[in-house]
A = this chain, B = another copy of it.
């Protein structure tokens, strides 16, 4: 068995990671840290784990060496301790935003502060297997992925990979998100009485995840925007991309591009049905799964394409991709431990 530990296990990303690792056939969880819940059983914070583990939250200062170390802390912490962490484990997989961007200047531009460990940026591989599968096979350090960036990047992937987009037109990405995105601590607007029933466009421009779309998809920075709207749901993201295809591109071309991506990637599916209730990608049925469901519509009269990607923000947008990366890093079957199909109805 491969030994793994998690730093920052009381948050939503950490809890989801723990769930996955507890049922992973090759990994054995040694320690899970939490300062605020030190000494408590992990199932007291993550009640789904009751009767499945007797682990307690331990102190991050008492971490022992392991084969793989997962970092699931709030953004901005890992970069200050990465040298220490690297002494504990030969492989590190981060879930936060600390090592997602390859360029220190670009990081500063989007995060408004200097990076604390710029020399580490080039050592990390961006942790989305659909974009970096080959590199991940030989990586030691894997970054997290932004959940909104992931939905956006995967909605763009078939179009970008097949070279179908006309980047002289804007790429407008409308993202709808559930409340678990705000993290276990929540914020002023997280109170159920205020957050229930919302359609709240809380960020029109400038969301930090935009940087990952620019970096990974090579969309011109001045053309792309992510607009974030909170809706009444706990888990889930839907990215709806509006862009323009090159002249002459047809629906048939799109089918080909989307099917190609789905066939190359075990967790990508194309959802485009003519009948039934579930004709388009929807995040609700993805809760707990690692799937990214893609769909599209093209207005051939003017080249306007709408591309959709639905994911579970805590899975494909965080812990699920992290485990998928672990599988690739370790040379295990890519889907190991990520077999849950999701529920219907839900």
Find out whether the CB atom of A12 lies under 8 angstroms from the CB atom of B345: yes
With A269-B51, A288-B343 as contacts: A201 and B45 at CB distance below 8 Å: no
In the assembled complex, the Cα of A236 lies from the Cα of B229 at a distance in Å of: 14
Number of interface residues of A (CB under 8 A): 95
In the assembled complex, the Cα of A238 lies from the Cα of B174 at a distance in Å of: 13
Interface residues of A in 248-289 (CB under 8 A from B): 269, 271, 273, 275-285, 287-289
Residues in B whose Cβ lies below 8 Å from that of A236: 197, 199
In the assembled complex, the Cα of A164 lies from the Cα of B191 at a distance in Å of: 38
In the assembled complex, the Cα of A169 lies from the Cα of B243 at a distance in Å of: 12
Minimum Cβ distance to chain B for residue A17 (Å):
12
Minimum Cβ distance to chain B for residue A329 (Å):
24
Residues in B whose Cβ lies below 8 Å from that of A244: 170
Minimum Cβ distance to chain B for residue A229 (Å):
7
In the assembled complex, the Cα of A192 lies from the Cα of B182 at a distance in Å of: 10
Find out whether the CB atom of B287 lies under 8 angstroms from the CB atom of A199: no
Instruction: Let me know if A103 is at the binding interface, CB within 8 A.
Output: no
Instruction: Let me know if A62 is at the binding interface, CB within 8 A.
Output: no
In the assembled complex, the Cα of A49 lies from the Cα of B286 at a distance in Å of: 11
Interface centre among A233, A276, A343 (most CB of B within 10 A): A343
| Minimal Cβ-Cβ distance residue in B for A345 | B193
Residues in B whose Cβ lies below 8 Å from that of A222: 301-302
In the assembled complex, the Cα of A186 lies from the Cα of B192 at a distance in Å of: 8
Instruction: Let me know if A15 is at the binding interface, CB within 8 A.
Output: yes
Residues in B whose Cβ lies below 8 Å from that of A240: 174, 201, 227, 229
Of A73-81, A121-129, A134-142, A304-312, the segment with at least 4 beta carbons within 8 Å of chain B is A304-312
Partner of A49, one of B180, B293, B302, B341: B341
Residues in B whose Cβ lies below 8 Å from that of A114: none
Find out whether the CB atom of B48 lies under 8 angstroms from the CB atom of A343: yes
Residues in B whose Cβ lies below 8 Å from that of A231: 176, 199, 231-233
In the assembled complex, the Cα of A202 lies from the Cα of B276 at a distance in Å of: 12
| Minimal Cβ-Cβ distance residue in B for A343 | B288
In the assembled complex, the Cα of A283 lies from the Cα of B197 at a distance in Å of: 9
Instruction: Let me know if A172 is at the binding interface, CB within 8 A.
Output: yes
Residues in B whose Cβ lies below 8 Å from that of A170: 169-170, 242, 244, 304
In the assembled complex, the Cα of A346 lies from the Cα of B227 at a distance in Å of: 24
With A46-B344, A172-B242 as contacts: A196 and B196 at CB distance below 8 Å: yes
Contacts from A to B (Cβ < 8 Å): 12, 15-16, 19, 22-23, 40, 44-52, 169-170, 172, 174, 176, 178-180, 182, 184, 186, 188-202, 204-205, 222-223, 225, 227, 229, 231-236, 238, 240, 242, 244, 269, 271, 273, 275-285, 287-289, 291, 293, 295, 297, 299, 301-302, 304, 306, 308, 310, 339-346
